[in-house]
Structure 1
């Protein structure tokens, strides 16, 4: 049997990038995946791709900054499939600017697309994850772990997500719910655009990755997400998993 056979999964930001890589890896392991995204065109295209492997999988268009309707995402999925096994909080948008230039609007964008949806979706999913003894996968970043310049709003929200995830791991372990964090370094569309725009800087960063490359969104990041969503990871919780080719080695 496939590792995620008939598990019901929600992935935010699933229409492209790392989110789509995880979605593809999971449907190939038997999961029923709902990708949540604001981009309707990309979402419908990805839905078709996922349904080739998992006909029940679907795209759900939603604005994660619309806090009042976040609970409806969970309700829609549970009403359709009858349960929820895995919640993946992947979506996040932010601007790259210095602390000095950062405005309240910049903070609101980062926390409004990253931290707050993660918090409220976890809260809304809890009753159903208690029933399934399910898994939550949240996302961190080397920007937060190392304090990358021009990433104040993004780094702050990512570290807030890490703190929240550790608290949830402590509070919800008694229910059999695992909460873990992936910190990725991936060859996403954004990284590919950056490589074209700043090839020298890109090569400089790549040269410092011990494994010598950026990760593949499906085969590298997606496969770790499959592991964290599966029974194989049932005794792992509260951990930040560095899926970055050895770029940051936690102590």
Structure 2
């Protein structure tokens, strides 16, 4: 039997990149998967591929910066699939730039779409996760970069997510809910575009990764998430898993 047979998962930002790879992997292990995001067309593409492979999927338009959208999205998942066991908070608007460049508005979008959305989704899903639930939130090794120039705001939002995740893990363990964090390097569309535009810098970036490559969204990142939310990782909670080929040193 597949690891996640009978489970129901909600993945935000599931229309492309890391979120899509995670959705594919959860479905491959038997979970019914709801993918949420702002662009229905890409969500439907993800769902179509899951169905082509024999899985079950549902596309839900949701702006994670809108509390009403979050509540509606969670309710629709439960109505469609009869419950909710797995939450993956992947969607995030990234505020990149120097301390003097990033505007307050851009930073607040990073806060609202990152830690605030993560918190709201965890709260909305909590009643359904009780008993055997698992949450995976996304952080970043930007917080432990040797040179944090241009990453300060981004790292701040991701570290807030890590703190909230640790708090939830400690508070909700008694309720049978596990909460873990991954910090991935993945070959998403955005990173692929950066590599094509900056080949020399990209080569230096690859050489700083002990495994000498960036992770595949489905097979490297998604497969690990499927393990984390399965009973095979039932004693793991409150942890940050660096899925970056060994590049970052978390200490």
Detail structure 1 runs of 4+ shifted over 4 Å in the superposition: none
Report the 3-state secondary structure (helix = DSSP H, G, I; strand = E; otherwise coil) of the residue aligned with 2:92. coil
Q: For 2:55 and 2:238, how far apart are their aligned partners in 1? A: 33
What corresponds to 2:17 in structure 1?
Answer: 17
What corresponds to 2:32 in structure 1?
Answer: 32
Over residues 162-198 of structure 1, what are the superposed CA-to-partner deviations in whole Å (9 max), with x where a residue is unaligned?
Answer: 0000000110010111100000011111111001111
* Structure 1 range deviating more: 113-122 or 143-152: 143-152
Unpaired runs of 5+ in structure 2? none
Over residues 135-184 of structure 1, what are the superposed CA-to-partner deviations in whole Å (9 max), with x where a residue is unaligned?
Answer: 00001101123363212222111000000000001100101111000000
The question of 1:112 aligning with 2:125 is answered no
Q: For 1:181 and 1:54, how far apart are their aligned partners in 2? A: 28
Q: Please state how far the C-alpha of 1:88 moved relative to its aligned partner.
A: 0.2
* Structure 1 range deviating more: 189-198 or 146-155: 146-155
What corresponds to 2:128 in structure 1?
Answer: 128
Number of equivalenced pairs = 250
Q: Please state how far the C-alpha of 1:8 moved relative to its aligned partner.
A: 0.1
Over the aligned positions, Cα root-mean-square deviation in angstroms equals 1.2
What corresponds to 2:138 in structure 1?
Answer: 139
Q: Please state how far the C-alpha of 1:113 moved relative to its aligned partner.
A: 1.2
Report the 3-state secondary structure (helix = DSSP H, G, I; strand = E; otherwise coil) of the residue aligned with 1:83. coil
Q: For 1:106 and 1:145, how far apart are their aligned partners in 2? A: 22
What corresponds to 2:231 in structure 1?
Answer: 231
Report the 3-state secondary structure (helix = DSSP H, G, I; strand = E; otherwise coil) of the residue aligned with 2:204. helix
Q: For 2:42 and 2:246, how far apart are their aligned partners in 1? A: 31
Over residues 49-69 of structure 1, what are the superposed CA-to-partner deviations in whole Å (9 max), with x where a residue is unaligned?
Answer: 112235531110111111233
What corresponds to 1:247 in structure 2?
Answer: 247
Q: How does 1:169-180 map to 2 (within 5 A)?
A: 169-180=169-180
What corresponds to 2:103 in structure 1?
Answer: 103
Unpaired runs of 5+ in structure 1? none
What corresponds to 2:61 in structure 1?
Answer: 61
Report the 3-state secondary structure (helix = DSSP H, G, I; strand = E; otherwise coil) of the residue aligned with 2:148. coil
TM-score by length of 2: 0.96
Q: Please state how far the C-alpha of 1:43 moved relative to its aligned partner.
A: 1.1
User: Contact 2:33 / 2:57 at 8 angstroms: preserved in 1?
Assistant: yes
Q: For 2:48 and 2:68, how far apart are their aligned partners in 1? A: 29
TM-score by length of 1: 0.96
Report the 3-state secondary structure (helix = DSSP H, G, I; strand = E; otherwise coil) of the residue aligned with 1:182. strand
Report the 3-state secondary structure (helix = DSSP H, G, I; strand = E; otherwise coil) of the residue aligned with 2:183. strand
